[in-house]
Structure 1
Amino acid sequence: MKALLFAALLGAAVPLQPVVAEAFDRAQHLPAQPLTITGDRTSHRFQVEVARSQQQQAIGLMFREVIPADHGMIFPLQPPRMASFWMKNTLASLDLLFVRADGTISSISPNATPLSLAPIESIEPVAAVLELKGGEAARRGIKPGDRVNWQGSSLRDRPQAG
């Protein structure tokens, strides 16, 4: 009986592997560009992907198992507005940095729980949201008021249809 149960469980698990592999293949990889966060006496450099279109923003960093410490993704929001994100299909913990139109950080939601459907919201209208590896903002001493600058941080980065 145990052998039959084990065989049934093993057989049930095997078809899941292609489904999981397919999910990981759905991760998007956009061109990266430099981004700098400057504080009182500190400067932190990252390579970030820019999610410009609505489709790119909907996928974000979903299905990524690992986010390198010096990488991330930025979501330009034009016009500035209240932002609400979730961690659906996001496998790695993230810090979400909400960035005002003047480039300063409004607030930080640290260590967002992977796969959570709970909303993560800005406290005021923002012009961008920056996602970094979970815990990276605290590790580097990044805080509200620090300034975010990236190539092309202008109205031409606003989300486009499709």
Structure 2
Amino acid sequence: MSFPRIALLVMTLLLSGCANAGDWVELGGQRYKVEIADDDAERARGLMFRDELAAGTGMIFLHEREEPQAYWMKNTRIPLDILYFDNTRKLVAQQRDVPPCSAGNACPPYPSNAPARYVLELNAGEAARLKLQNGAVLKLGGGLRTLP
């Protein structure tokens, strides 16, 4: 491989690593650094097989359209709050303190019970700590600002 190709490869890797470094959401006056799951494979994997989720972090799932959603905890080892938001990023449903599940395909679903487009997973107890109520607005920052 020639030097220009190596330099281009290194720059591409560095830039792709930085692309998500500033992604964050704000909810209830609290800012969270988030990982983004915006395709089927990333949404399916979610937070599976992790032993912890650092304080002040979460994962946001982006869907192409607003519709009823249902998440489950298959192979998820940490309890979570699952928060559902509509097209306008208003909180429309909450599943709090959802326990880990190691039962594979027998893990129960946790539905939104309302059409949602954005789903935010945080450590269990965050929704209660923030005293979240439906109607709370999710603010997007970093690279997420360009989302409709």
The TM-score normalised by the length of structure 1 is 0.70
Deviations 1:63-82 (A, max 9, x none): 11111231100111121111
Q: Distance in 2 between matches of 1:61 and 1:143?
A: 24
Q: What is the distance in 2 between the residues matched to 1:44 and 1:143?
A: 14
Once the two structures are TM-superposed, the CA of residue 143 in structure 1 deviates from its matched residue by 2.0
Tell me the residue number matched to 2:127: 137
Instruction: Find the counterpart in structure 2 of residue 99 from structure 1.
Output: 85
SS of residue paired to 2:114 = coil
C-alpha distance after superposition, 1:31-61 (max 9, x if no partner): 45111014xxxx1110011101110000000
Structure index of larger Rg: 1
5+ long unaligned stretches in structure 2: 1-18
CA contact (8 A) 1:69 1:136 kept: no
Match of 1:67 in 2: 53
1:13 corresponds to: none
The one-letter code of the counterpart of 1:76 is: L
> 4+ runs of 1 displaced by more than 6 Å?
none
Q: RMSD over aligned Cα, in angstroms?
A: 1.6
- Identity of paired residues, percent? 31
User: Which residue of the other structure, out of 96, 99, 109, is the alignment partner of 1:110?
Assistant: 96
Which of 141, 147, 152 is residue 137 of structure 2 equivalent to?
A: 147
Paired residue type of 1:54: D
Secondary structure at 2:41's aligned position in 1? helix
Deviation at 1:145, TM superposition (A): 1.0
